[in-house]
Amino acid sequence: MNRTEVTLCGIRLDNPVIPASGTFGYGREFAEAYDINILGTFSFKGTTKDPRFGNPTPRIAETACGMLNAVGLQNPGVDKVISEELPALAKVFRKPVMANVSGFSVEDYVYTCEKLDKEPQVGWLEVNISCPNVHGGGMSFGTDPKAAAQVTAAVKKVTTKPVIVKLSPNVTDIAAIARACEDAGADGISLINTLLGMRIDLKTGRPLLANSTGGLSGPAIFPVAVRMVWQVAKAVKVPVVGMGGVSSARDVIEMMMAGATAVEVGAANLTDPFACKKIIEALPEEMDRLGIAKLTDIIGSAL
């Protein structure tokens, strides 16, 4: 067995490193920079039933140790993802891919997940009920245990592949929401999405983002993410995928000690396209330094 190998919902990964949705597109651009088959897998850009242009600009604002984004789920819609993006991806990526799905109603989630579930290259469905940058959907499903369970149960009825529900940190009791998803049939939980934040232009006195608020990502949120992964890993029996401010091999190991089976890397990909490659290459050396024989030995060790 490979020292860095893990198994996520029954599917083997060469390593636990997964570029997070929204930071890796549909993989093709990064495939021009390096062989993306070194990744455990990646979560492709948040996909909705219909095409979305996204929010008005400006959509990005820098902040200390991170960034705010309010892109608003810009994507070509599930039909074009299936007809154009997945065939193009198959030419450069030979592993199962994680399909990230967003919606504005339970019916939206069901429609999109049912379609993507039939695609051979899709290994997991990451159901995003936690996007803070859209109105009338996204995060509204992830802040209430009943609503989260409703989406989870509805998606599970029309799918055969593992369903991983992506949770929002913008709640008071994330463990309760994770348990509700597990009880409704979720095969895994991923967290955290971005923290709701805001910046103001001192010259104009107006918000820097056209959407006013946006999602905070980057190293600033890492301790919050570790805490929430730890809380959820204690609360559920299904695998947990941790993310939030991860930018190094040491961060990956810390997140796994908190209870994550696999770890997604987000904003780091936007500042360094080779971030995930560097993390994967650094993992064995970091494991040697810490006396870790294999990564599966440390999952949840802090619990």
Could you give the 3-state DSSP secondary structure of residue 90? helix
Torsion of CA 56, 60, 63, 68, to 10 degrees: 70
| Element containing residue 91 per DSSP (H, E) | none
Give φ, ψ of 23 to 5 degrees: -120, 0
Q: Is the distance from CB of 192 to CB of 241 less than 8 angstroms?
A: no
Sole residue written with tokens 């810490």: 290
Yes or no: say if 43 and 25 are a contact pair by the CB < 8 Å rule. Answer: no
Q: Which of 113, 131, 181, 276 is catalytic?
A: 131
228 within 8 A of 174, measured Cβ to Cβ: yes
Active site residue 131: yes
Collapsing DSSP to helix, strand or coil, 221 comes out as helix
Decide: helix, strand or coil at residue 110.
Answer: helix
Residues 6+ apart with CB under 8 A from 202: none
Assigned token pair, 40:
């455990």
Q: Helix, strand, or coil here: 141?
A: helix
Phi and psi, residue 89, nearest 5°: -65, -40
The identity of residue 103, as a single letter, is G
| Cα dihedral across residues 101, 114, 158, 237: positive or negative | negative
CA dist 109 to 54, 104, 148, Å? 18, 8, 12
Which amino acids are annotated catalytic? 131
